[in-house]
Structure formats: structure tokens, C-alpha cells
Structure 1
Amino acid sequence: MRKIAFYGKGGIGKSTTASNVSAALSLMGKRVCQIGCDPKNDSTRLLLGHICKSTVLDMLRTKDAGDIQKEDIIHTGFHGVTCVEAGGPEPGVGCAGRGIIVALELLDRMKALPESDVVLYDVLGDVVCGGFAMPIREGYAEEIYIVSSGELMSLYAANNIAKGIARFASRGKVRLAGIIGNSRNVPGEKELLIEFAERLHTGLAAFIPRDRTVNLAENHRQTVLQYAPDSQQAEVYRKLAETILTNEAESIPTPISFDELENLVAQYGTEN
């Protein structure tokens, strides 16, 4: 079983990318489980066609752990993709990162996850909280892809995630598998992401162009693979899924300083 996690700055498009990759993998015949580790519980929206109505933490607020059944927290999405949302605390109450810990521990105790070829964790943030680092720290995920654009703060978050991966790599199997560029149409973006990946001692797994098809699919609560399967954008996600399945270029990342990062971004912004 492949254990993969997508990390990146909030709002960078992790959930959209994860859902389209999950859909593509499923259409390729793989048994896929996507686990949303974001308190907004919207990771699997495009696969389910709606916001998940029953997260793990929702169930724990209404039932004793021993009374929760697998069907309470495991849902089936597009083309049979298994969908789970960890959920989060009520707004303004509690720690969202702690919610991930509780949810994943419960799934483990229940042996709730079906047999899968690929388990894909969609994780919020840049590993500043122990809860969000849990998929890396506890070995739930071994292959980490960082979703980033060419914008400075997105790259800053990516660099922080690389620091977290490097820290935990010394005591486990976790490795950086690549950068996924989710374009924001900034100057020299693809070239910048390629060089940024090289400095982190990894590669650019994919460069996803900014395309209105993605927005249209999201408005219909669908992945691009479902909404526009013959589109060029769908093919981009298929190629990314194929890359993930065949990728063996995993590494312990080498994060850079913020000064080096600023200079790198300025260099590409100036040249273009």
C-alpha cells in the first residue's frame, strides 16, 4: 500500500489536486482512500459531490468511540474512492491539529480503513502544529508531495514543510517525493519551481496550469475527471497520477534560508 500525503499552504489547491489525483488513480483501476485532515472537512467535497456530513470528530461528539460504526465515518465517492474526513473542533474551540491526532488514532483502533492500493492524506498548513505533522511523524504517510505556486509565501510554506520532513526523516521512512506546481500565473513560475525543487534536492512532479475548467468543475461539485474527462486539464491530472505511481525519486530535503528564498523569487520576477 502506498501512503502519500499532500501538504502546502492553505488555499493553494491541495484538496482540488488531491481529489483529481484520487479520481485519476481510481479510474486507472487502483483502490484509493482519501483522508481529509483539514478542520473545514472539505477535502473530499469534489469526490462526494457535497461537504462530508459525518466526520470522525462529528461522531465522537455524539457517540462513545465504542459505538461508532465504520459506515458512520467511511463514505464512498466518485468511482468508488473511499472518503474520510477527520473534521475539527467547533470554531473558536479546541485545537484543529489535535483533532487529526484523535481521528487517525480512532481509525487505527477500529481498523476502519478498507484495503487500499493508495491512501492519500490531504493535510492543511505548513507543519507548525504537532497535529498537522502527525501523518509524517507517526508514519501514516511516507511519500510527501508539497503543493506550491511560484508566490513567495507559498514557497515559504513549502520550505517549512521540507524542514519538517527533514526532521522526521532521520527516524522513519518519510521522504519528500516532489513539488507539485499549482500555477498562479506569476512571472517565470515553472522555471522558479524547478529551481526551487532542485535546491530542496527533489524534482517538480507536475506543473498544473491555471485553467477555468477547474473552477467550472468545482462549481458543479465534481472533479475535472468527472466533469470534463476529455479536457486537457483532466489529462494533466492523469499524468500526475501516473508520475506518482512510478516515482521512485524520494529524498531527504535540504531546506534553504529565507534570504535565499527571497533572492530566488526576486531573480525570476526581475528576469520576467
Structure 2
Amino acid sequence: MEDVIYQGYGEVDSVEAGGPPAGAGCGGYVVGETVKLLKELNAFYEYDVILFDVLGDVVCGGFAAPLNYADYCLIVTDNGFDALFAANRIVASVREKSKTHPLRLAGLIGNRTAKRDLIDKYVEVCPMPVLEVLPLIEDIRVSRVKGKTVFEMAEFESSLTYICDFYLNIADQLLAHPEGVIPVELEDRKLFTLLSTYYLSGTSQSTTDQIFTNEKITSSSELDFLMV
């Protein structure tokens, strides 16, 4: 086990799943194999808390593999159109997995966003708790460059303590064993309509005119075009 599990700051054990070189393999496959390896090593029974930080692409079965062993799923998203579309796909995966596993959605975490209007619109029609919303904080990116956690940096820079409070709030909610929810995702078209209304309502007349002009040019050109 010591060959793949390394101890980091605060005596927290860590595993890096890694992956193949870019364009040369499947990252989801590596995640699935990592889950299998941890199971073979009985790692799931050695810890009180295990946190999987996985890319939110649950169309891939490999990336969704940790959900087979999880009590809760946390969705981390920003306040943007594309991120909430991906979040909705994760919601669909949680609903499907909950049919055969004791999995619940603990909630959603807004990340790197000064606003939460789209997040609020989404959870209004797809009910789930919002555990926390973190603004865009440069020191979090600095911590990654330094190879340290924010908590480690805060030991020497007291001004960073407020950042730790965001994460401690999330941890307190999870350790309280929330009931969680079995969510029901929105249909893609309904979600598109919901989120696009926000963007279109902020479109100026001049921008709209330009869009119509470009459409006329494109339609008269009769271009052969394929997008996959």
C-alpha cells in the first residue's frame, strides 16, 4: 500500500491516479483501475473519510466509478452555463446510481465565482442544498503553485484563515451525516432554455443586429461544414 499512498500535510494520506500521456489513452480507465486497486488493498476500510476528486464527466464510466463506493456526491461548479450543464449530467448519474447503491447527493458547491444567480436558478428547479459558494481567490491558485494546501500556508499567514473557513464549513456539514437527496436532472432542452434566458436577457440590441447580419452572410454562402 505504501507504494501508491503517500502522506501529506496534516497526516492526510493521498493517492495520485495519474493518467496516460495526452492523446494516448483514457483517463477514465485509469480512475476505474485506481478504484479497483484501492479495493484490493482494503483501503476503503482503513479510513474514516475518503474523498475522491474526480473530473465531472460522468458520461465516462471510469470517471463515475467512485460513485459505486460513495455515500455522498458533491458537485463543484461555477456560475457558468457549461459548468451547470456538466453538473446536471452528474445529477443524472447520481440518480441512476442511487437505484442500486446507498448514494445520495450531499449538495452543490459554487467555486471561483462572484455571482450565484445561475446556480440559484438551477437549484430552484432541481432542488439540492448549496453547501458553500467560494469567490475567486487568487491565494488558492498560489497554494497550488507552491505545492501546499491553504491550511498549511495559513499557519504562517493569518490573513488566509478566512479561506480555510469556507472549507471547514463544508467539512462540518458532511461530518454531520446529512440526509442528502436523490436528485432528478433536467432535460437538456429545458436546462438550455433556463440558462440561456439569462444570457439572452443581457444581450444588447447592437449585438443582436450583428448576429442577424452574420446569419444572412452565412446562409447565402452555402458553405459545406461538418461539426462532430
2:165 paired with 1:235: yes
Q: Alignment identity in percent? A: 33
Once superposed, what is the RMSD of the aligned Cα atoms? 2.2
Name the CA distance, whole Å, in 1 between partners of 2:42 and 2:154.
Answer: 36
Matches within 5 A, 1:100-111: 100-111=31-42
Cα drift, residue 109 of structure 1: 1.6
Cα distance in 2 between the residues matched to 1:219 and 1:113 = 30
Q: Counterpart of 2:61?
A: 130
Equivalent residue for 1:171? 100
Question: Normalization by structure 1: what TM-score?
Answer: 0.66
Which structure has the bigger radius of gyration?
2
Cα separation, 1, equivalents of 2:112 and 2:194: 17
Cα 1:267/1:165, change in 2 over 3 Å: same
How far 1:169 moved relative to its partner?
A: 1.0
**Corresponding position: 1:200 with 2:200:** no
Pairwise CA distance, 1:151: 0.5
Match of 1:16 in 2: none
Q: What CA distance in whole angstroms lies between the structure 2 residues aligned with 1:140 and 1:210?
A: 31
Residue number in structure 1 paired with 2:143 = 217
Q: TM-score, normalised by structure 2?
A: 0.78
Instruction: Give the gaps of 5 or more residues in structure 1.
Output: 1-69
- Structure 1 stretches (4+) deviating beyond 6 angstroms? none
2:94 is equivalent to residue 155 of structure 1: no
**Which aligned pairs between 1:229-268 and structure 2 lie closer than 5 A?**
230=158, 231=160, 232-268=162-198
Change (3 A) 1:91 1:235: same
CA distance, structure 1, for counterparts of residue 97 and residue 195 of structure 2: 27
CA contact 1:213–1:228 (8 Å) conserved in 2: no
Q: Which runs of 5+ in 2 are unaligned?
A: 203-228
Q: Is the 8 A contact 1:200 1:254 kept in 2?
A: yes
Flag the structure with higher helix content: 2
Which of 137, 141, 144 is residue 70 of structure 2 equivalent to?
141
Structure 1 position 177, deviation (Å):
1.0
CA distance in 2, matches of 1:180, 1:116: 24
